[in-house]
Amino acid sequence: MSSLHKSRIADFQDVLKEPSIVLEKLRELSFSGIPCEGGLRCLCWKILLNYLPLERASWTSILAKQRGLYSQFLREMIIQPGIAKANMGVFREDVTFEDHPLNPNPDSRWNTYFKDNEVLLQIDKDVRRLCPDISFFQRATEYPCLLILDPQNEFETLRKRVEQTTLKSQTVARNRSGVTNMSSPHKNSAPSALNEYEVLPNGCEAHWEVVERILFIYAKLNPGIAYVQGMNEIVGPLYYTFATDPNSEWKEHAEADTFFCFTNLMAEIRDNFIKSLDDSQCGITYKMEKVYSTLKDKDVELYLKLQEQSIKPQFFAFRWLTLLLSQEFLLPDVIRIWDSLFADGNRFDFLLLVCCAMLILIREQLLEGDFTVNMRLLQDYPITDVCQILQKAKELQDSK
C-alpha cells in the first residue's frame, strides 16, 4: 500500500470519526474514489445515499429501527398465504370458506399471491443472471435469512415459490410499458433459469436469492412501479459492496441495509423506469437529449457526425443512463464510477457529463466510422479505464 493511499484512508477516517460529519468534506473526498479498506466505502455510501444521518450518535438507534422494520417486511410479504405447511392437522387459517386458492375476488389474499408470482418470476429470471462475469451471486451467503430458513418454521422461500408456482411453465416478462408478456418456454431455446445453477442445500441460500428478496419486497411496497427489468442491475452493485464489507457486524445486515439504500437511490432515478414520464422534464428522453445538447456544446463536430448518421441517443444512452453504466463496465469499475456519482451534489447531472465524456474520448473512431461501426462502438464501449472517463467528465464540469 502506497503512502498516498494510506494518507487517503487517514483522511476518510478523520472525516468519519467526527461527531457530526461534514457532508461537503465527505463528498469531496469520495468523488476521487473511496478506499475499500476497513469498510470505508460501505459506510460512505450509506451516508451519501441518506441512509445514515450525519450525526453519528443516532446511527445505532436508526440502524436498529430500520433493520427491525425490514424484518417486519419479511414477515408480512414473504410469509404469505399458503407458505406455512400443514403439519399434523394444524388448522390452515389461510384456507377458509371465504378465501381459498380458487377465489375469483380481486381482493382475495390468494388472488394477490398469484399476481405477485408474475412479478416474482421476472425478478427470479433476472437475478439468476446477475453479474455473470463473477461467481459471487451464485455462492452461498454467510448470513442466510434465519427468519425464513429456520427449520422450526418451515416457511416457503421465494426460490421454492418459483419452483412450485403454476406459472412456472410460462416465461413472464414485464417491460417498461407495464405490459406483461407470457409465452411458452418451448418457443425459446434458452435454458430454463431454474436449471442454470445448482440449488444449494436446505438452510443455505445464494446471494442472488437475497437480491431477489430485496426486489420482491420493493415491488410489493411500490405497486405503482413494482419491478421493471433493469432494477436488478441497480441493486446488484449495492448489495455486493455491503455483502463484502470486512466488518462482519455490518455484513450480517447487508440485506436490510441494501434494501433501504436501494429504495433511496430509486427515489432519485425511478422516473427513468416509468414510460409515461419519458417525455417530461424528469423523464429519460429529456436526459438523453441533454447528453446530446451537452455534446453539441463541447464538441459540435462529433455531434453533427452522429446526427448525420441518424445515431439517436436512444440507441445507446438509454441503457447508459437508466442502469447508471452498470452494463458498460466490469463490477469493480462500476463501483468506482458510483463513488463519484453518489458523491456529487447533482449526481445525475454528473452522469450526463460522464456519458458525454465517453463519447468525446472515442471521437476519432466515431468520426471515422460508418453507422454500423459506430453503433458497435457505442453498444460495446471500448475504453475500460474509468478513471480516464471520470477525469474527462470532471473537466467538462469545470469548463461550464
Residues 340 and 235: their CA atoms lie apart, in Å, by: 17
Specify the pLDDT at position 114: 73
Say which residue, 340 or 103, is predicted with more confidence: 340
Domain boundaries along the sequence of the chain:
56-92+100-161+201-270, 273-397
Does position 381 have pLDDT exceeding 50, yes or no?
A: yes
Tens of pLDDT, residues 301-353: 999 999 999 999 999 999 999 999 999 999 999 999 999 999 988 878 899 99
Identify whether the C-beta of residue 105 lies closer than 8 Å to the C-beta of residue 111: yes
Q: What is the mean pLDDT of residues 269-277?
A: 79
Which fold, 273-397?
Answer: Cyclin A; domain 1 (1.10.472)
DSSP E strand stretches across the chain: 171-174, 180-183
Does position 214 have pLDDT exceeding 70, yes or no?
A: yes
Say which residue, 3 or 97, is predicted with more confidence: 3
Predicted structure pTM score: 0.86
Tens of pLDDT, residues 5-47: 999 999 999 999 999 999 999 999 999 999 999 999 999 999 9
Question: Would residue 278 be called left, alpha or beta, if left means φ above 0 and alpha means ψ between -120 and 50 degrees?
Answer: alpha
How sure is the predictor about 105, in pLDDT bands with cuts at 50, 70 and 90?
A: low
Secondary structure, 3-state, 27-83: HHHHHCCCCCHHHHHHHHHHHHCCCCCCEHHHHHHHHHHHHHHHHHHHHHHCCCCCC
Residues 192 and 340: their CA atoms lie apart, in Å, by: 38
Does position 48 have pLDDT exceeding 80, yes or no?
A: yes
Lowest mean pLDDT among 20-29, 43-52, 182-191, 371-380: 182-191
Identify whether the C-beta of residue 34 lies closer than 8 Å to the C-beta of residue 27: no
Does position 106 have pLDDT exceeding 80, yes or no?
A: no
Grid look-up 429470471 returns 125
